[in-house]
Structures are given as structure tokens and as C-alpha cells.
Structure 1
Amino acid sequence: MSKTGSYSEEIDVHSEIQSICDKVKAAVESKTDQKFDAFIPLKFIHQVVAGTNYIIKVYVGYAGADECIHVKVFRALPCHGGKLEVSGHQYPKTKADILKPF
């Protein structure tokens, strides 16, 4: 678990991260002007602030491709509605690229 204000180490995804990716896919496609057939989260890091920042490595490539995108998502605290907002992205990336704050 990360301390408030610092990012965690890379973590394997779980159902909550998949759910976040499902909810923000359309916003990411709009921001990148791309349509992704695949949108599969692989790893993530997070930072606890007045809510949570997530940086998620998402596989978007096609059969045999290594293409990924790093997506930064802010989730507001439940008392503020828990809204998800895509606050940045880095594209293209590969599976080997390390997740780091941006």
C-alpha cells in the first residue's frame, strides 16, 4: 500500500481496475482519436490524494502486437460522488514500458 501522496509499486490488476477501464474506454478513445478493439489492463500504480490517481497500463494491440497505452485516471472520494476522470494518457507504449507518474 502506498503512503498518501506517493505512488505505489506496479500492481497486478484486479476486478476494480477492469471496471475502471471499462468505464473510461470511450473517454480514452475520444482523447486519442483512436478506436481500440482490445482494452485490457495489465498493471497499475496508484496514488492516494483527495481521491485516488491511477496510472494503468492497458493492452490495446492486435494479435501479436505489443501496443499499449498508459492511462491516468482520477477517482474522486465517495463523498464527492466517486466520479472517474481521465486526466492524461501516454500513447503509444509497449508492454515493457515501466509505469511512472506523468
Structure 2
Amino acid sequence: MSRPLAGGMSAPREPTPDDQKIADQVQAEVKAKTNQKIETFEVVEVATQIVAGTNYFMKIKVGPNEYIHIRVNQDLSGNVSLSDVKECETKDSPLVYF
């Protein structure tokens, strides 16, 4: 699989088990930042951006027909942190830079 150029965002793709593990590391923080009931936390789409580490843009299924987008940064040492959350997304909302 080809990697995007530094600074560019990759095309969205199917998540891997490793992507879900990264999302799971920030799940508690996401729940604290949102005011909605999160019934599930399933990554359904991912795009990446190479920076000083990697930004992960993730579409997360949080309910039967409810989705959010999160941006997570994994630094060069492997530390993971939540950068941003976009609420009120849909299954068809495009995963774009935010």
C-alpha cells in the first residue's frame, strides 16, 4: 500500500484492527467531549496524514444510525492523543480534513 506524501491526506479506506486499537485508546476522551450517548465505538472508515507522526481521521459508528468523525495523532514515539471531534455526522458524510 502506498503512503501519502508528508502533509497530504490519504484517500479513505477500510479500517484495520490496528486502527480500531488506536481509536479505542481515545474512546473515554471522546465520550467525555460529546454530549451524546455512545452505544458502540466502531471505526468504519480511516484516512491518514503524515506529519511529525500520523494523523488518523476516523469515521466512528456510535449508534444504529449515528456517526462521529475523530482526528487522532500518533506521534513518532507511538503516543496517541485526541485532536478533534466532529459530531452529527452520517454514514454518507465524507471523511475530510478538519
Alignment of structure 1 residues 9-88 onto 2, 5 Å: 9-62=11-64, 66-78=65-77, 82-88=78-84
Cα distance, 1:31 vs structure 2: 1.2
Residue equivalent to 1:90: 86
Normalising by structure 1, report the TM-score. 0.89
Q: Structure 1: state its 5+ residue gaps.
A: none
Q: State the shift of 1:34 in Å.
A: 3.6
Question: Structure 1 runs of 4+ off > 6 angstroms?
Answer: none
Q: TM-score, normalised by structure 2?
A: 0.92
Q: Note the residue ranges of structure 2 that are not aligned, 5 or more in a row.
A: none
- The alpha-carbon deviation at position 33 of structure 1 amounts to 3.4
Q: What RMSD over aligned residues (CA atoms) do the two structures have, in Å?
A: 1.0
Deviation track 1:42-64 (CA, whole Å, cap 9, x = no partner) reads 001100010100110000013xx
Supply the distance in 1 between the matched residues of 2:27 and 2:38 (Cα, whole angstroms).
8
Give the C-alpha shift of residue 94 in structure 1: 0.6
Identity over aligned pairs, percent? 35
